[in-house]
Chains A and B, each alone.
Chain A
Amino acid sequence: MNVTRGFTGRPRVRNDGLPPGQYDAGDDWPVLSAEVTPDLTPAEWTFTVDGLVAEPRTWTWDEAHALPPSAYEGDIHCVTSWSKFGVRFGGVSLDAFLDAVRPAPEATHVVAYSHTGYTTNLPLADVTGGRAWIVWEYGDGPLPAEHGGPARLIVPHLYFWKSAKWIAGLRLLDHDEPGFWEQNGYHHRGNPWEEQRYSGD
């Protein structure tokens, strides 16, 4: 690509935590959902894991809160180019839910879906081994509705569109099925360190 005449950009800050093409959004936390923020109370919220599992199961708010607590503290990266450093999300590791349903050996992928019907696809390996959480706290408070509250999925090592807001469930599959943004031209995996933004990257 050619140099853009007269463009210098902001002073460079060396930041090893910043994936290529990303910038530090500081205190901002942009909201980019495509749908109306749902009016969902904790009492109405449920989380289901089914598909290729030994024992499909649905958790209520209280049942999910009875699982061992786990928090993510670190960075998040959005495909629209902002990253946010040192955030804290509290909830339960997705492993705790998956251990309870016992995935079948042939399960390779999941589709995560929201109470709004939003979907996103992930390899099972990306949501196991302490790399994904169901969370209901941001910082010290409840997760705000526009950011996915009462509860969302977070998979912080991938671009944040994979971290489905208003999470309703996971379906385990033996193949990959593109979700909402993936059908709209976005990359199937979305690894920020490899800048996998759009299909073909």
Chain B
Amino acid sequence: MSVTDSTPSAGFTPPTRFAVPGRIAVSNRAAATWQRATLTEVRRETPHAATFRFAVPDWEGHLPGQHLMLRLRAGDGYVAQRHYSIASPPDDTGHIELTLDHVDGGEVSGWFHTVAKPGDEVEVRGPLSGFFAWPGDRPALLVGAGSGVVPLMSMVRHHRARGLSVPLRLLVSARGPEELIYASEYGAETAPVFTRTAPEGVPVGRVSAAHVAALLADRPEGGWEAYVCGSNGFAEHASRLLVDAGQPVDRIRIERFG
């Protein structure tokens, strides 16, 4: 995997400004090959979310922010496949972690939350997609909601594991403290925002222009690379706040969970 600043092929460049140049060249072989992943551990994060750790012996490595495709197969050959962001940082040799929300009536997340146990096998292909990857080089402004924090947490963990000095900030929105995924892992880089219930003295409300202004105020040299992740509604809201606060559109990357 190599880090690039622009698009890998120097071909046609549209006259319109390219909003989201890819950050890395992705391996087509990894994207094409299904691999066995064995569940080794399940950790509860919140009443609705849990982390699933897998052994994937042939995992070729990923960058924070990338996702994979996962599939389950029923006895009659029926297959269900979904995308999941990778929660673990790179270098967790031979292991990856995913954090899944339990979606009401969800086919795949339902299986994980009610049936799966260590020893079970699923299949994955990836890592996929380079545009949301963060190689750890540029100052990163991360804004996520709900399980949208998952790929951003991979970035936070990578930043810590490598002792990187490049600035990194995380603004994470959750319904309440008990719904905040990875709550015990956050440090000074993180500002949580609670939309329904909050601890004594902490305001309740959506991510606002004031939150974003506070983050953008201490502009690092070269400016921020913004990564926004969550539901489409949240992504639209947060990305608009960033644009209104002066963040250039070509330095906002958005991963929408649908």
Assess whether B131 is in contact with A34, with CB atoms less than 8 Å apart: yes
A8-B74, A30-B256, A37-B236 given as contacts; is B12 within 8 A of A81 (CB)? no
Question: Is the beta-carbon distance between A36 and B125 smaller than 8 angstroms?
Answer: no
User: Which A99-114 residues have C-beta < 8 A from chain B?
Assistant: 111, 113-114
Q: Which of A108-124 contact B (CB under 8 A)?
A: 111, 113-119
In this assembly, does A42 line the interface, its C-beta being within 8 Å of a C-beta of chain B?
Answer: no
Q: Which residues of B contact A2 (CB under 8 A)?
A: 36, 73, 121
A200 to B69, CA, bound (A): 15
Question: Known: A80-B83, A177-B12. Is A30-B78 also a contact (CB below 8 A)?
Answer: no
CB of B216 within 8 A of chain A?
A: no
The interface residues of chain A lying within 8 Å CB-to-CB of B253 are 34-35
Task: Say how far A126's CB is from chain B's closest CB, in angstroms.
Answer: 17
Selected from A9, A37, A146, A198, the residue in CB contact (under 8 A) with B31 is A198
- B residues in contact with A181, CB < 8 Å: 129
A-B pairs with beta carbons under 8 A, tally: 169
B-side interface mostly: mixed
A71-87 toward B: CB 8 Å interface, digit per residue (1/0)?
A: 00000000011100000
Which residues of chain B are within 8 angstroms of A82 by Cβ–Cβ distance? 258
Q: Which residues of A contact B33 (CB under 8 A)?
A: 200
Q: Quote the shortest CB–CB distance from B5 to chain A (angstroms).
A: 13
Range of interface residues on B (Cβ < 8 Å)? 35 or more
Flag whether A171 is at the interface (Cβ < 8 A): yes
Shortest CB-to-CB span from A201 to chain B, Å, is 6
Decide: B132 and A34 in contact? CB cutoff 8 A.
Answer: yes
The answer to whether B14 touches A184, judged by C-beta atoms less than 8 angstroms apart, is no
Q: Does B111 count as interface, using CB distance less than 8 angstroms?
A: yes
Does B122 belong to the interface (CB within 8 Å)? yes
B81 A81 Cβ-Cβ under 8 A: yes
From A30, A33, A80, A197, B254 is in contact (CB under 8 Å) with A33
B256 engages A168 (CB within 8 Å)? no
Question: Is the Cβ of A180 less than 8 Å from the Cβ of B128?
Answer: no
**Residues 76-134 of B at the A interface (beta carbon under 8 Å):** 76, 78-83, 107, 111, 115-116, 120-123, 125, 128-132
Q: Using CB atoms, name the residue of chain B closest to A30.
A: B258
A residues contacting the other copy or chain, number (CB 8 A): 52
Closest to A115 in B: B16
Distance of B239 from chain A, by nearest CB (Å): 5
- The answer to whether A125 has its CB under 8 Å from any CB of chain B is no
**Interfacial chain B residues near A111, Cβ < 8 Å:** 12, 14
A143 and B72 CA atoms in complex are apart in Å by: 35
Is the CB–CB distance between A36 and B19 below 8 Å? yes
Q: Which of B22, B32, B73, B232 is the one whose CB lies under 8 Å from A184?
A: B22
Smallest distance from the beta carbon of A38 to chain B beta carbons, Å? 8
Any chain A CB within 8 A of the CB of B249? yes
Contact A37 B239 (CB under 8 A): yes
Partner of A7, one of B111, B235, B240, B255: B111
B28 on interface, CB distance cutoff 8 Å: yes
Find residues 171-193 in chain A having any chain B CB closer than 8 Å to their own CB. 171, 173, 177-178, 180-181, 183-185
Q: How far is the CA of A68 from the CA of B129 in the complex (A)?
A: 39
Whether A30 contacts B73 by the Cβ 8 Å rule is no
B8 contacts chain A at the CB level, 8 A cutoff: yes
| Contact between chains at A36 and B8 (CB < 8 Å) | no
Q: Which residues of B contact A184 (CB under 8 A)?
A: 22, 26, 128-131
B129 adjacent to A4 (CB under 8 Å): no
> Which chain A positions have C-beta within 8 A of B211?
none
Q: Inside 8 A of B222's CB, which chain A residues have their CB?
A: none
Tell me whether A177 and B232 are in contact (CB under 8 A): no
Interface residues, chain B, CB within 8 Å of chain A? Answer: 7-9, 11-12, 14-20, 22, 25-29, 31-34, 36, 69, 71-76, 78-83, 107, 111, 115-116, 120-123, 125, 128-132, 232, 235-236, 239-240, 242-243, 249-250, 252-256, 258
Extra contacts besides A3-B75, A10-B107 (18): CB < 8 Å: A1-B34, A3-B73, A5-B115, A6-B120, A28-B258, A31-B232, A31-B236, A33-B254, A36-B252, A81-B82, A111-B12, A116-B19, A117-B18, A169-B16, A178-B11, A180-B22, A180-B131, A183-B7
